A = this chain, B = another copy of it.
Amino acid sequence: MTNFEFQNPTKIVFGKEAEVSVGRETAAVSRNVLLHYGGSSAERSGLLDRVRSSLKKAGVAFTELGGVKPNPRVSLVREGIKICREKGIDCVLAVGGGSVIDSAKAIGVGVPYSGDVWDFYEYRAVPERMLAVGVVLTIPAAGSESSPSSVISNEELLLKRGLTNEVLRPRFAIMNPELTFSLPAYQTACGAADIMAHVMERYFTNTRNVELTDRLCEATLRTIISNVPAALRDGSDYAARAEIMWAGTVAHNDLLGTGREGDWGSHSIEHEISAIYDVAHGAGLAVVFPAWMRFVYKHDVARFVQFAQRVWGVEPDYFNPERTALEGIARLEAFFVSIGLPTRLSAMNVGTDRIPEMAAKCTGKGTGTTGNFVKLDEKAVREILTLAK
């Protein structure tokens, strides 16, 4: 176990009708907020009206900025920053999934910063503080509701970049699993892949003696594996939706990463795919992860055997650990297929022609590496993307 610091101050309000508390929770933080959201679903479902009404009742003034798209754009973030500055707004309330929350966080760090917010995502500057950010979560996936991370796309540069800094933790997250009943099957599955990826990025580590966090990771993965099929069979299965939603938060608040080095190579490779092709992040991860695993598993067969046995219930072949390791990877891939996700680039209509470009971009124009479990250079990323073709 490595030395670590851990602090996750986000207040979680979880359960049926949890969103009725949004006015109260927001008012405890601010009286002048930016209400930030995505497309039409939150409007159609009536959620936005319930939020507006709760804010009004609590005496919270708000300015609205909708239109956040998946793979949220820095251009909208800049617009949000401008509005907040003009109106003296000191809190961003995100109603939506990871894209909306990540956009809200970007606005929150951009407002008190004199330069351009994209600087943070290119690591040219480090955010020192963020406006208060509150969340009403509608999609369990990104874990952004209590994570210190934000991923933003720069549509001019075709870049998608992640920022992680402790100041990015939201103040509160309101989580009602009923709000996810209407999520389409594909989006539910993509969310599950994202949640699993957050755990697996932490699970595959070179750090030794990390039993507690290994087991917490396995617990979270098994919960997703057993509940996603139930949620796909019946979208209104509260128990299944609740398990997935809470697991999504636990997967990415970094408790599971305490005392261990994470990998994050698969995430960085996927970011290059979705920056160009605008595919769903979870789908991209379902494609990249099995290929990444087949490329790296020989680096630590024992860890992949543990993954196969404890997560997938594979009976180990003690005389052939590699076979057991590969069986675990095959089970993961079969699970993704079973919940309707692509596991090949071709299934997302992504060809092989831009593999060299993607491999270069996620390794600093080919000068560096990505990932930690195995440090992947440009050639390695090309091979992984080719395995995934």
Contact = CB atoms under 8 A, between A and B. Distances in A.
Contacts of A243: 1, 209, 211-212
Interface stretch (A5-13, A107-115, A299-307): A5-13
Contact of A219 (B14, B218, B227): B218
Classify chain A's interface size. Answer: 35 or more
A23 interface: no
A242 interface: yes
Nearest to A166: B11
Contacts of A215: 218-220, 222-223
A239 interface: yes
B6 A9 contact: no
A255 interface: yes
Contact of A250 (B14, B212, B220, B247): B212
A219 B5 CA distance: 21
A258 interface: yes
Interface in A185-236: 208-209, 211-212, 215-216, 218-220, 222-223, 226-227
Nearest to A227: B211
A309 B10 CA distance: 34
Nearest to A172: B7
A2 interface: yes
A166 to B, nearest CB: 10
Given A209-B242, A219-B216, A243-B209, A12 B5 contact: yes
A171 to B, nearest CB: 10
A259 interface: yes
A316 to B, nearest CB: 15
A5 B11 contact: yes
B12 A246 contact: no
A239 B5 contact: no
A14 B255 CA distance: 13
6 contacts: A3-B16, A6-B11, A14-B259, A211-B243, A212-B223, A216-B219
Given A14-B258, A208-B239, A212-B220, 14 more contacts: A1-B15, A3-B16, A3-B18, A4-B15, A5-B14, A9-B9, A12-B258, A15-B259, A209-B238, A211-B223, A212-B246, A215-B218, A215-B222, A219-B219
Return the 10 tightest CB-CB contacts between A and B, nearest first.
A3-B15, A215-B219, A209-B239, A9-B9, A7-B11, A212-B223, A6-B12, A219-B219, A1-B242, A216-B219
